[in-house]
Chains A and B, each alone.
Chain A
Amino acid sequence: VRKVGEILVSSGKLDAKALEEAIEFQKNENQDKKLGEVLVESGVVDSLDLHDALKQQDHLRLSNHSASHESIRVSSDRLDLLVDTIGELVIAQATFSERLLHLELKDAEASRQLRHIEKLSRSLQEASLSLRMMVIRPVFEKMHRLVRDLSKKTGKEIELHLSGADTEIDKSVIDRIGDPLMHMIRNSCDHGLEFSSAERVRAGKSPSGNIYLSARHRSGEVVIEITDDGQGLHKNKILEKAIAKGLIQSHAVLSDAEIWSLIFLPGFSTAETVTDLSGRGVGMDVVKRTVESIRGRIEIESTAGKGSTFRLILPLTLAIIDGLIVGVGQQKYIIPMMQIHEAIRPKKEDLVTAMEVGEAVRVRKQILPLFRLAQVFDIPGIQDPSEGIVLILESNKQSLALLVDRIDQIRQVVIKPVSEGVPKQIAVSGSAILPDGTVGLLIEIHGLMELSLKHSAPRYESTQTSENSDFNETSKEHSP
Chain B
Amino acid sequence: MSTTTIIERSGKIEQFLTFKLALEEYGVPILKVKEIVGLQDITPIPRSPDWILGVINLRGLMLPVVDLKKKCGLHPTEANIRNCIVVADVVSPNKSFSMGILVDEVEEVVSINQDQIEPSPHFSAKLKSDYLLGLGKSGKRIIILLDLDRVLLDSEVVGLGEVAKEVSASQT
Contacts and interface: CB of A to CB of B under 8 A. Distances in A.
Contacts of A428: 45-46
A394 interface: no
Contacts of B59: 84-85, 88
B58 to A, nearest CB: 9
Nearest to A374: B46
A422 B46 contact: no
B27 interface: no
Contacts of B90: 421
A423 B153 CA distance: 11
A441 B47 CA distance: 13
Contacts of B57: 88, 433, 437-439
Interface stretch (B18-26, B60-68, B104-112, B158-166): B60-68
Contacts of B62: 416-419, 431, 439
Interface residues of B, number: 25
B43 A422 contact: no
A378 interface: yes
Contacts of A85: 59-60
B97 A439 contact: no
Contacts of A431: 43, 55, 62
A422 B47 contact: no
- Chain B interface, DSSP helix/strand/loop, else mixed: strand
A419 B97 contact: yes
B55 A439 contact: yes
Contacts of B97: 419-421
A96 interface: no
Contacts of A376: 46
A411 to B, nearest CB: 15
Given A379-B46, A440-B43, A441-B43, A422 B60 contact: no
Q: How large is the interface on A (under 10, 10 to 19, 20 to 34, 35 or more residues)?
A: 20 to 34
B46 A421 contact: no
Contacts of B45: 418, 422-423, 425, 428, 441
B52 interface: yes
B41 interface: yes
B48 interface: yes
Interface centre among B45, B48, B52, B95 (most CB of A within 10 A): B45
A332 to B, nearest CB: 8
A425 B60 contact: no
B68 to A, nearest CB: 14
A379 B52 CA distance: 15
A424 to B, nearest CB: 10
A331 B56 CA distance: 13
Contact of B44 (A81, A88, A331, A418): A331
Nearest to A419: B62
A377 interface: yes
B56 A439 contact: yes
A377 B60 contact: no
Interface in B88-109: 90, 95, 97-99
A319 B24 CA distance: 44
A88 B60 CA distance: 6
Given A439-B57, A441-B45, 20 more contacts: A84-B60, A87-B60, A88-B57, A88-B59, A378-B46, A378-B47, A416-B62, A417-B62, A419-B55, A419-B97, A420-B95, A421-B99, A421-B152, A423-B48, A423-B49, A427-B47, A428-B46, A433-B57, A438-B56, A440-B43
6 contacts: A84-B61, A377-B47, A416-B62, A420-B97, A425-B47, A431-B62
